[in-house]
Structure formats: structure tokens, C-alpha cells
Amino acid sequence: MNGLFLLNKPAGLTSNQALQRVKRLIRAKKAGHTGSLDPAATGMLPLCFGEATKVCAYLLDADKSYRVGARLGEATDTGDADGQVIETADVPDLDADEWRRISGAFVGQIEQIPPMYSALKKDGKRLYELARKGEVVERKPRKIHIHAIDVVEARGKRLLLNVRCSKGTYIRTLVEDLAKAAGTVAHTASLHRETVGDLDPDGMLDLRGAEEIAESGIDALRSRLIPADAALSGWPSIALTAADVSRFCGGQAVNAELPPGQEPGRLLRVYGPDDRFLGIGEGLAGSLVAPRRIFRLGE
């Protein structure tokens, strides 16, 4: 059993708790998830089973998009609605166009200081563990890329945004920084992840739906898995000849017709002549493709 399950994670569960629930339902031996969501957050959480766990690392690098609800005028110690209010401020009377002007300054490559309530480590300790003890440590700014911020609604203390961003972006910090630029404070009141990379959100299923399908039998739920290479659909691809398949799967570089404009060092999807996904290859000079990750998906 190999494939991806796109879970619409409910609020109140950690990403690992959600994974374990589906893992039991689908009776998988090997499982992993990619792109953790905070317990209060909802939305797309790709769960990987069997050989599909090999794409987890590549999905971590994928862009993501969110629907974000911000509460203006109140800052919390965690940056979200689960925290305690630690500061209040007046909210300026700004319309959506004025918020678009403010948010426009955050589009592109920016630097962001990770929040204390995060899973990053300092001297072997998770930052959130230190934060719960009341400790605040210095965090180095990190470069991230905000591709787009769409202001959907701005009314009173409510601000609704659509955000598309790179890996490593903390939406809670983005909300706080936007509020600061507007002369107030804020926290993230709701967060829903809509997409991860090129995965189709129409394939998402919530936990209750998964449980109902599982009642019809394990095969019914497993039929909702999508192929591992769906996570890499935005990558260039090549097809090998039958003679080169065994060499590639055995760890040898092979000659192949690379896609136009393919630069050495770029990763690509590799298929056999029967369209069977073989794995991830790296294009080298001289039209060579070296295996970087082989997927044993069966004949």
C-alpha cells in the first residue's frame, strides 16, 4: 500500500495525532506527514504511506497557501487564539484598499523572526518549551518569500487574507508584522491551509469522512490514496527505455533525453516505458540522469 492521503485536518489535533488516526484506519505499517499544522489550524495535511513517505522531504520545500483570519487590536503570547492576551491597541479605521497598500510591502523576499511558540530548537530545546517557562531567547531572522497577499475583507477588528508563501513562513508572525505596520497589534484568529505544492485540494477528505469510508472496508479507504508522484507533478519528467530501467533502479546513471532547458543539477520525475513511476533523478551534464530516490512501487 503506497500513496498519499490528503487530510483536511480538523482543529484540536496535532498533525501527528491526525496521522495516527488515519494510519489506524488505513492499517498502514509505514507512515509520515509533511508540513505540520498547529493544533488550532485546519486544512490540507498530506499523509504519506508506504513508499510515498519518500516524497515527504520534497513536499516540505513546496509553496503553500492559506486562508487567514486576523483579530486586530489584541496580541497574544502565542500569536494565535489559543494564547493569552498580552497587549491591546486601538485599531485604525482602514479600508481594504489601505490594507492592500500595507500588505504590498510584504510581498516578495522578506526576513522574518520566528516566534517563540515554534518547534525550532535553541541549544537542543524547542522554543515553545522555553516560551512556556517564560523564557525569551534571541532568534535569527530567516529569509522567506511571500508570493501574494490578497485582502478579502477588512471590517472593524476583522481582517481576512489569502496568503501564498514559501516554506518556513510563520503566518502568525506575518499577521503581527502587518498589524505593526498599520500602527496596531493583532493575532491569528483562524488559519486554514488550502494547498501544498501542486496537490489538488479537491482530493481532500476530512477525518469524519475517512471514518465513514473505512466502515465500508479497508479497500474503500485505500482507494482514496493518490499516487506518490502526484506530489511532484510540477516537476519536469523523462521516460526511460526498457533497457535502462533496471540500470537506473540499480543505482546507475543512464543516458536520457532531457527536457528542453533542463539545467544540470535539477531534479526530475523518472518513468519507465509503461508510465510506471520509477523515482527521482538528477540531470547531469552530457544527457545523463543519476538516480536520487528509487520508488519500489511494484510491477
Known catalytic residues?
Answer: 38
> Rounded to whole angstroms, how far apart are CA atoms 270 and 293?
10
HSE toward the beta carbon, residue 229, CA cutoff 13 A: 21
Helix, strand, or coil (residue 30): coil
Q: Which of 69, 75, 72 minimizes the C-alpha distance to 93?
A: 72
> Rounded to whole angstroms, how far apart are CA atoms 3 and 224?
9
Contacts of 26 (CB under 8 A, 6+ apart): 1, 5, 49, 214, 218, 221, 222, 225
> Rounded to whole angstroms, how far apart are CA atoms 128 and 248?
44
